[in-house]
Amino acid sequence: MKLKDLQLLDPGLKLVSNPTWPDDILAISSLGHIVPNSVVFVRNAKFYQLLAGHLLEATNSRVGAIVDEKFFNLATAQVRADFEQLAWVATSPNVALSLTILSKPFYDRKIGGLNTQVDGRQMGTTQIDPSAYISQNVFIGEHVTIGPEVQILPGSVILPHSEIGAGTHIFPNVTVYPYTTIGRNCRIHAGTTIGSDGFGYTFHQGQHLKIWHSGGVVIHDDVEIGSNCSVDMGTFAPTVIGQGTRVDNLVQIAHNVKIGRGCILCGQCGIAGSAVLEDYVVLGGRAAIGPDAHIGTGTQVAGGAKVNEGAIWPAGSKLGGHPAKDLKEWMKGVAYVRSMSLKEKSKE
């Protein structure tokens, strides 16, 4: 896709640097996950800082940027100099809308045209180790790789360009969307879906416009995921679950979430988009983590607690309540409310 193609799709774009850039633009990059010959979106100073941390990589990878018009016009000389190092730069009066519009053609290029009608074994494009056990009534898409001693039970669907590591056990009726990587010795229980679309929309002129996700999922070794869970694919970079993590039944893991090693996620908890859980975090049943929250290593979140959007908690925290706060502080508050309630009742 050429620069002129982007302008045809989104006429609001104004090219301000290298308007005749000749190379094809192959993908959209997340600011923390740069891929060659791609485009990134910079809405404000926060996103610029993320880009600045990867500027050398972005420059060497021939990445272009679509930048908020107002932010670019008010940018300092240093910020503009940083942008000038990129392959090309365009401005947009509405970066969120530009991202939404342009996500569709890149999605179509990567996922929309995949063959999901004919089993890859018939097409001769799968790589299945002879020791793998594949039950009847399993669909395996094209360009899927399945390692030694993998077991896939009836009703499961493994869509194209996915990879399943040695010794992993896929229980009945599991659905694995395209571009999912599952490590060695994992267990994925019945009814779970991995790699479904992230819940991302842009509200514009009275409509919720879909942001088309194509980032995939990466699940590392020795992970167990219970039944009827949902792990959404990343927007443009993978959703990640770290080695040795355990996920109970009925858990929702949204797009772009990063989960570290050895975490425990109890039943019915939910993690919203782009949240980060560092290593050995424990979420009690029905705990909720808001979007962009960052939970430090070894933190414990009590059942039913709700961590607010964008909250940052250091390693070793113990949290409870809504909004989540230090567990002891929350329990004192609960005890106080209870004591006051009992006093009021005694007056009746």
Cβ–Cβ < 8 Å for 88, 110: no
Amino acid (one-letter) located at 41: F
**Can you tell me the distance from the alpha carbon of 257 to that of 162, in angstroms, rounded to the nearest whole number?**
19
**Can you tell me the distance from the alpha carbon of 156 to that of 205, in angstroms, rounded to the nearest whole number?**
40
Count of residues for the chain?
348
CA-only gyration radius of the chain, Å: 23
Cβ–Cβ < 8 Å for 142, 121: no
Amino acid (one-letter) located at 202: T
Tell me which residue has tokens 């959209």. Answer: 28
**H-run or E-run covering 7:** helix 3-9
Could you say which of 161, 189, 255, 294 is catalytic? 255
Cβ–Cβ < 8 Å for 308, 325: no
Amino acid (one-letter) located at 180: T
Sheet (strand 38-42) strand order: 14-17, 89-92, 64-68, 38-42, 27-28
Sheet (strand 193-196) strand order: 139-140, 157-158, 175-176, 193-196, 230-232, 252-253, 270-271, 288-289, 306-307
Cβ–Cβ < 8 Å for 297, 316: yes
Tell me which residue has tokens 């995921």. Answer: 225
**Can you tell me the distance from the alpha carbon of 163 to that of 315, in angstroms, rounded to the nearest whole number?**
33
Supply the DSSP symbol for 29: P
**Can you tell me the distance from the alpha carbon of 265 to that of 272, in angstroms, rounded to the nearest whole number?**
13
Residues β-bridged to residue 201: 210
Let me know if 255 is a catalytic residue: yes
| Active-site amino acid positions | 255
